[in-house]
């Protein structure tokens, strides 16, 4: 098999020539505060499942994020866009402040990507997927298991380690590590 095979979006060029082609749009929601190597792992897998990936950053007044909405959008764009481009997957990022499933519908997504680290994540995500299916049966939740190397990473732990002056370079992309260092120093 040539190296370029299996690297593009699902069904890639084969789908493009079909009359009535409808692109597979996937929404990957989260707070991305900050972007972690776990998020990056999910994106690397997700770009092979869709023709267009939309990263949706949840913005909720009850949460006090470390990074502003614009800083998170910039991080998402800088870290994930090259991964999507390399895979031949269209990419966009946006924000939302309502139900995640409503954001998926608004953007025409038929796939909702959810990363899973362990059984606890699965139990929680299955409940959400069931509720979402009732509200929007046209949006299919796709669970993406985290690779072993990134399973223990959470954005909460990354923020705590960085806030106490620890080295988070093993848990986040270099751009994010630099941003965390700047935030912690300020």
Quick one: pLDDT at residue 114? 98
Structure tokens at 185: 């120093």
Separation CA 25–CA 110 (nearest Å): 6
User: pLDDT tens digits for 145-164?
Assistant: 999 999 999 999 999 999 99
Alpha-helical (H) ranges within the chain are: 12-16, 37-46, 69-87, 100-106, 119-135, 155-163, 174-185
In angstroms, the CA 73 to CA 94 distance is: 7
pLDDT reported for residue 20: 60
Contact 33, 66 (CB under 8 A): yes
- 135 Cβ neighbours under 8 A, 6+ residues apart: 99, 101
What percentage of the chain has pLDDT greater than the value 90? 83
What are 93-142's pLDDT values in tens digits?
999 999 999 999 999 999 999 999 999 999 999 999 999 999 999 999 99
pLDDT at 23 over 50: yes
Across the chain, mean pLDDT equals 90
Residue 66 to residue 104: CA distance in whole angstroms: 25
State yes or no: cis peptide before 34, omega within 30 of 0.
yes
What is the C-alpha separation between 22 and 83, in angstroms, rounded? 22
| Number of separate helices (H) and strands (E) present in the chain | 7, 5
Q: How far apart are the first and last CA of the chain?
A: 51
Examine the pLDDT at 11 and tell me if it is beyond 50.
Answer: no
Residues 63-83 have a mean pLDDT of 96
């Amino acid at each position: 098999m040539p190296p370029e095979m299996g690297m593009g979006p699902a069904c890639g060029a084969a789908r493009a020539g079909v009359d009535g082609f409808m692109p597979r749009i996937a929404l990957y929601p989260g707070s991305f505060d900050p972007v972690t190597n776990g998020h990056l792992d999910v994106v690397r897998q997700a770009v092979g499942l869709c023709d267009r990936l939309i990263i949706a950053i949840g913005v909720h007044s009850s949460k006090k994020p470390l990074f502003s909405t614009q800083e998170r959008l910039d991080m998402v764009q800088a870290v994930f866009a090259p991964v999507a481009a390399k895979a031949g997957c269209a990419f966009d990022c946006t924000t939302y402040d309502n139900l995640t499933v409503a954001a998926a519908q608004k953007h025409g997504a038929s796939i909702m990507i959810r990363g899973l680290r362990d059984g606890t994540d699965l139990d929680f995500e299955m409940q959400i997927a069931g509720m979402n299916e009732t509200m929007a049966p046209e949006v299919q939740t796709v669970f993406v298991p985290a690779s072993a190397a990134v399973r223990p990473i959470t954005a909460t732990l990354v923020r705590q380690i960085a806030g106490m002056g620890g080295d988070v370079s093993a848990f986040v992309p270099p751009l994010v590590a630099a941003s965390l260092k700047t935030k912690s120093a300020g």
